[in-house]
Amino acid sequence: MSGARSDLGTHEVQNQPPARGDRDLWAQDQPLREAIARDGGQAQALAPYAATLGKAEMAEAARDANRHGPELQLFDRAGRRLDEVRFHPAYHRFMEVSARAGYAAVAWEGAAGGHVTHAAMVYLASQVEPGHCCPLTMTYAATPALSAAPGLAELWHPRLTARAYDPALLPVTQKRAATLGMAMTEKQGGSDVRANTTCAHPDGEAYRLTGHKWFCSAPMSDGFLTLAQAPGGLTCFLVPRWLEGDRNTFRIQRLKDKLGNRSNASAEIEFANTLAYPVGEEGRGVRTIIEMVHHTRLDTAMAPAGLMRAALSEAHHWARHRTAFQRRLIDQPLMMAVLADLQLDVEAALALGLRTARAFDGSRPEDRAFARISVALAKLHNNKRAPQVTYEAMEALGGMGYVEETPMPLLYREAPLNGIWEGSGNVICLDILRTLAREPLAAETLQAELSSALGSDARYDAALKAHKQRWPALPPEAEARWFVESLALLLQASLLIRHAPAPVADAFTATRLDGQAGRITGAMAGSDCTAILARICP
């Protein structure tokens, strides 16, 4: 078939960027390749996954999955209750591609760099179709939480870690692969899950749950981890979606009409004498499920890095092929400053996210302690930058950036999501203060990471000294956001100083720590923008 016509009779289409076509998200991302080599990820697994996601057909599938969102089917034609959600085939296509690549499995297969590889897959998938990441992220994160129930783990682990996708509506015993969701939040409590009122009554070795959940993510998963008040206190339970020969009582009230994340279903549900199995001891529900939350936070720290990378890539492509005032946009100093500034955010987010993932791969107490503190810092700061970066990239396209035929509206709608899910900003800040107060090893490992960059850049040394002088001890609660932002920027700068090319590290330190920038993107001077822009795409 011939290409689209440019001569339209009334005018000729000119000065418009060519279609992007197939892209290699691995070959075109030098910072990613460097970070994977540095942090021990599996390049041989990531390269083919990135090449598949970059194909033009997957970009079209992403548009289909978001234009034709999930549909709730409460009843069949005869009035029998179904409580099912139907998805467009494009959504299932992404689930299959990512599941087969090992998105939910690779971290648990025993090979080196599993969590780093998984985190990079989150980063890559978020660039194309972020909605399908939700069920796979929760499946990845549920695996360690289920270790608190060995009997359940024996049944579920092989299916949760299978490199396959099986959407059949069958009990888990009859499936080759399974996904696991989460349902914690209730109307009256929100993040305060100890205020949950869903109750659990013993029924032999199982329990029966009665209550509601205001947010249930991915309601077509094969099972769900949830919290309910048992006789011994708040307890974690596994709710199977399907029973042998019957449906569990899992009533979907409605699907949430969300700002973004449109390809993925989120629901309000009710439990009505619903069969569930305990995970861990009664009264230890928060301690049990926090293991799942800890791992989902890694993904909510990596996803914004992917969103920012995707938005910047679109802006860069536009600027390279669009002219204004007789010059390409990419050659105009002000546009160069904007795009280079955005690249600093992308590189810093990626470096911090994958360094955190490397700590997840570690087995020493120091690794686990650093993972706890760094994942919270990465989640908060990466997500605070994502809306601003995606907006600025959208603006670089002018009016076209506001049009749904480009990926920019999808990315912009998605940008606030991960900052809200799995603990909003204030929750994360308070969690960081608690961790530093209660876990001396977390504070020690963070300090060691910050100190490792001392002596390389006087501006960094001065910023770290100023941070310690401003907060010789933990700050009062009202200053928590300022304190955490300062820590996150110092940690990102430490990583870039040690590992990034000099122009990147120099510009980040100057603009983020030394005050050589204004408060809006691109308000900077003196940086080697040409060298920084070369990092966006070869």
Asked if residue 19 belongs to a domain, the reply is no
Q: For residue 180, what is the domain's CATH number?
A: 2.40.110.20
**Angle at the Cα of 365 (from 363 to 370), degrees rounded to 5?**
95
Is residue 5 included in any domain, yes or no? no
Q: Is residue 11 part of a domain?
A: no
* CATH (domain of 386): 1.20.140.10
Q: Look at residues 313, 295, 323 and name the one whose alpha carbon lies nearest to residue 103.
A: 295
Q: Based on the domain organization, do 332 and 277 belong to the same domain?
A: no
Q: Which of 263, 283, 303 is the last residue of a domain?
A: 283
pLDDT digits (tens, 9 = 90+) for 369-394: 999 999 999 999 999 999 999 999 99
Residues in CB range of 12: below 8 A, 6 or more apart:
6
Q: What is the DSSP string of 305-365?
A: HHHHHHHHHHHHHHHHH-EETTEEGGGSHHHHHHHHHHHHHHHHHHHHHHHHHHHHH--SH
| pLDDT of res. 332 | 96
Residue where a domain terminates, one of 283, 311, 330: 283
User: 300 with 179, same domain?
Assistant: no
Pair (475, 359) in one structural domain: yes
Please report whether residue 21 resides in a domain: no
Together in a domain, 259 and 293: no
Running DSSP on this structure, what letter comes out for residue 476?
P
Which residue range(s) make up the domain with 186? 30-283
In-domain check, residue 513: yes
Residue 258 lies in a domain: yes
Say if residues 161 and 139 touch (Cβ distance below 8 Å).
Answer: no
Q: Tell me, yes or no, whether 422 and 353 share the same domain.
A: yes
Rounded Cα gap, residues 511 and 525, in angstroms: 9
DSSP 178-239: --EEEE---TTTTT-GGG---EEEEETTEEEEEEEEEEEESTTSSEEEEEEEETTEEEEEEE
pLDDT of 200 reads: 97
pLDDT value at residue 219: 95
6 is a domain residue:
no
Q: Do 263 and 412 fall within a single domain?
A: no
Tell me: do 152 and 180 sit in the same domain.
yes
Domain assignment present for residue 8? The answer is no
pLDDT of residue 191: 80
Do residues 302 and 207 both lie within one domain?
no
Q: Do residues 221 and 315 both lie within one domain?
A: no
Q: In this structure, are 508 and 375 located in the same domain?
A: yes
Domain ends where: 238, 264, 283? 283
For the range 158-162, what are the long-range contacts, defined as Cβ-Cβ under 8 Å and sequence gap of 24 or more? 159/222, 160/104, 160/105, 161/104, 161/105, 161/108, 161/109, 162/99, 162/105
Residues 442 and 332 in one domain: yes
Number of domains in the chain: 2
Residues 378 and 245 in one domain: no
Could you give the residue ranges of the DSSP H alpha helices within 13-131? 30-39, 43-53, 56-67, 89-101, 114-126
Residue ranges in the chain modelled with pLDDT below 50 = 1
Per-residue pLDDT at 1: 40
CA distance linking residue 450 with residue 352, whole number of Å? 12
